Amino acid sequence: MKSLCLGPFLAASAPVGRRAYGGHLSRKCFQKQLHFHSRCVAFSSFICSATISVMPELEEKQVFDGEKANLLVKDLRKSFDSGMTKSYGWRVSQLEAIAKMLEEKEKEITEALYKDLGKPRLEAFITEISQAKSSCSEALKELKEWMKPEKVNTSITTYPSSAEIVPEPLGVVLVISTWNFPFLLSMDPVIGAISAGNAVVLKPSEISPATSSLLANLIEQYLDNSTIRVVEGAIPETSALLDQKWDKILYTGSARVGRIVMAAAAKHLTPVILELGGKCPAVVESDVNLQVTARRIIAGKWACNSGQACISVDYIITRKEFAPKLVDALKEELEQFFGKDPMESKDMSRIVSPNQFARLVNLLDEDKVSDKIVLGGQRDEKKLKIAPTIILGVPEDAMIMQEEIFGPIMPIVTVDNIEDCYSIIKSKPKPLAAYLFTNNEQLKKDYVDKISSGGMLINDAVIHVATRGLPFGGVEESGMGCYHGKFSFDSFSHRKSVLYRSFDADSTISVGRRKGRSFQEANEESHKS
């Protein structure tokens, strides 16, 4: 039996699709209202206060099904159609609210990321919170310029006339985020969608439940709930959302689910942005600064959410004779990063779930791989931790070379000539990112020219995503579409062509046609004039 609390000044229950929240009732409102919160059902009015017993059935979780999803979209579309989201004032107010949220709730965000992934405080701030702040700050600074129509020259055919390209919001958009950077990969696209003037539904990942719950609470608390909503849940809730008609969908996650999202979007001819991932290679030539290279690879692999990142270095290709030196440098620098016993390090994230842990262990324990481990391999199932692991001379047909690793395991593939890297990389789907470490200028040019990837970075890893002037997106199986900064604004906008003509004059061609002359005669007269 649970209690039903009767108390004054409690808020009304939220509309469909919103989480209930506290607040004061209008003095005009004396009717009794239900407020669902935790394990207590609060039942409020201005005129009574008591505690009674209720049946447990009243606390059953409401199912978010297709009907509720449809009502949610209709509600948001009504708000969008009112024109409120198109104004500069509304966009700025929401961006300022996000900036305020990021300042005031930094501790809560960090704590949620630690609960979900064991992310160290510094890593959480650098890779998630500060990046969201940067995105929000840029949008506030540049929004007025982004919203300006772009003037376009017109031709003699349309004289007298003027033309422009007007960026307009698409409408009601869906953002489905993922678990590895659950805060950043939720808020960054939401910031872009708001900047472009859209109504937004965010579906956070259920695999990072603490961050998902926090996002739902914070967005309800800080943002306009008539235009920006959060739907929590797993496959049933996501399926209910995907059945609806959206004006754009941005999904971050696996290629397998990306296909499902794209198929659902195709039913409504909805455009999609898919950020998927893949096996991101790092080619290391023997002419590098070895210590700097090792540190940057570590930062782009083990210090980046324990390798659970779509742009993380997935495997290394280097010369056979140089590989032992590279392994020694990685060993030395890993000890500097995580100490002699990395399993006890507080500077390394844990594996997100038992399922992911078991998958990684299976990759390590494969017969073709287990005897080639030259560093690490320790694992702790209770703590969901795997030590930084290096595998030297892994065969191409091993499972670990067939799928994205998404964990703290680094295979090193050796070649006789560094140019052999091209055939290895091209034998796999195009990656989201490709890295090269070398001082050879010709090799740099050839790598950029020959390797197709979503993004590319020479002599470092991962940090290209922090450059707001660069688009972030994949190609083929690593994704489609892009966002970040102005690219986010453009991706959530339609560039509408507008031509303005005057009644003051008419072209010689049209006048000539009205007089019965042939098109050729009128055209010749037009050229003479």
Cα 403 → chain centroid: 21
CA–CA separation, 264 and 271 (whole Å): 11
Cα 48 to Cα 295: distance, rounded to the nearest angstrom: 65
Out of 304, 310, 421, 482, pick the active-site residue. Answer: 310
Determine the Cα angle at 299 with ends 296 and 303, to 5°.
Answer: 165
Which own/partner contact pairs does 57-65 have at CB distance under 8 Å and 24+ positions apart? 58/2, 58/4, 59/2, 63/236, 64/17, 64/231, 64/233, 64/236, 64/237, 64/240, 65/236, 65/240
Nearest of 44, 50, 51 to residue 2 by alpha carbon: 51
Asked whether 384 and 402 are in contact (CB, 8 A), the reply is no
Q: 486 near 146, Cβ under 8 Å?
A: yes
DSSP code at position 129:
I
SS3 state of residue 500: strand
Please count the other Cβ atoms lying within 10 Å of the Cβ belonging to residue 521.
14
> Please, what sign has the CA dihedral across residues 230, 232, 235, 236?
negative
Which one of 123, 237, 275, 333 is the catalytic residue?
275
Residue whose entry in the numeric block shows the structure tokens 């966002």: 483
Is 5 considered catalytic here?
no
Is 275 a residue of the active site? Answer: yes
Nearest to 408 by CA among 332, 307, 335: 307
Determine the straight-line distance between the first and last CA of the chain, rounded to whole angstroms.
92
434 backbone φψ class: left, alpha, beta (φ>0; ψ -120 to 50): beta
Query: Which amino acid type is present at position 32?
Result: K
Contact partners, residue 420, CB within 8 Å, separation at least 6: 317
Sign of CA pseudo-dihedral 373, 117, 463, 430: positive
Residue 103 near residue 126 (C-beta atoms within 8 A)? no
- Cis status of the peptide bond prior to 429, with omega within 30 of 0: no
Cβ-contact 2, 39 below 8 angstroms: yes
Beta bridge partners of 499: 163
For 262, residues 6+ apart whose C-beta sits below 8 A from its C-beta are 272, 274
Which residues are known catalytic residues?
Answer: 275, 310
